[in-house]
Homo-oligomer: A and B are copies of this chain.
Amino acid sequence: MRKKSSAPTMKDVAQEAGVALGTVSKVINGIPVGESYRIRVEAAISKLHYQVNSYAQGLKANKTYTVAVLIPNTKDPYFARLTNLINLSLTKRKYRMLLCCTDSDLSFEQEYITMAQQNKVDGIIGLTYNPNLLINPETPFVSIDRIMGANIPCVTCDNFMGGQLAAEKLADLGCRNVAFLRTGSSLTNEPNKRKAGFENGCLARNLHYETKILEDDDLIEEFETFLRERMQNGRLEFDGIFCSTDLLAYRIIQLLSKLSVKVPEDVQIIGFDGVRLFGDLDYICSTIVQPVSDIAEMCVQILLQDTLTARPPLICLPVSYAAGGTTKEPPERPESLSG
């Protein structure tokens, strides 16, 4: 019989629940176990008034219960939402989050990697465009949207499928002559697959297509030249445009308004990301929606999982399509605004 005088331990919980010690540990650390096991462990925790002493745990396991998150900024709505959801996933597991917005200085990223190597944080979740970043394969690091090297898992949405879905939707909506527009870095990153997926979809559905890619975000006026050259008698030759992000879609819609081309009447537009006004109101345009909540949860789960478990190199999570007023279906409205 266990002594009644001291606080209950994890062993007491395991005994009470009739499960292995490892199962209790998994439940406490938010690692999935069978539903019936979870319920038994939680009942035992509750019955014995067992309290997780995360500070003592930290000392014992040399854990800090702190994870660093590297993200370009939080003012971009996609990054803002991702940061929020990673924060919730970590908090749910009693982990703290160090946030580092890296836009202003990429050199901060290397500092956080050093911290992870010195066990000052338990690991890093990073969305980085830094080509010079050096990550030791031993460093607990989960990358978002970019493959960083062997043994560093990358979590992303299924960008290829997203591109293909955009082509299919435009075809379904009656388009015959479409364009793909993209700005940004030519670094080998996962979002670059959006183009290949789109081309694949166009070929499969017999859509005529053209692509225009600008390396520099600031050269948006080159798109104006591109579009002007494809106008005859005030009519744009494209009837559909797929933009690599919602932000680009928004800027292209502004450009088209200047050229007196009507959206969606003259040309239908699909963006990528699923950005919503004020975080969860209307979509800004018709869009391929990233599963942000699943991406956040997956990053945290993989980072914190048992280090002996093999780490998957690339995880692609499914995307979906949402009408947002720039294609010829009625826009989807969030439930809270309907009626």
| Chain A residues proximal to chain B, CB less than 8 Å | 66, 69, 73-77, 80-81, 83-84, 87-88, 91-92, 96-101, 104-105, 108, 218, 221, 246-247, 250-251, 254, 275, 277-281, 284, 336-337, 339
B87 near A101: Cβ-Cβ < 8 Å = yes
Nearest chain B CB to A75's CB is how many angstroms away? 3
CB neighbours (8 Å) of A87 from chain B are 74, 99-101
CB neighbours (8 Å) of A218 from chain B are 336
Contact of A97 among B84, B98, B247, B339 (CB under 8 A): B98
By beta carbon, the residue of chain B nearest A279 is B75
A73 near B250: Cβ-Cβ < 8 Å = no
CB neighbours (8 Å) of A66 from chain B are 98
Contact of A254 among B88, B108, B337 (CB under 8 A): B337
Question: How far apart are the CA atoms of A81 and B83 in the complex, in Å?
Answer: 12
Question: How far apart are the CA atoms of A275 and B108 in the complex, in Å?
Answer: 28
CB neighbours (8 Å) of A277 from chain B are 250, 277, 284
Nearest chain B CB to A244's CB is how many angstroms away? 14
A101 near B88: Cβ-Cβ < 8 Å = yes
Contact of A278 among B69, B77, B101, B336 (CB under 8 A): B77
Beyond A66-B98, A74-B74, A76-B278, 16 additional contacts (C-beta under 8 Å) are A74-B80, A75-B77, A77-B279, A83-B99, A91-B101, A91-B104, A91-B108, A96-B98, A97-B98, A246-B278, A247-B278, A250-B277, A250-B278, A251-B281, A254-B337, A275-B278
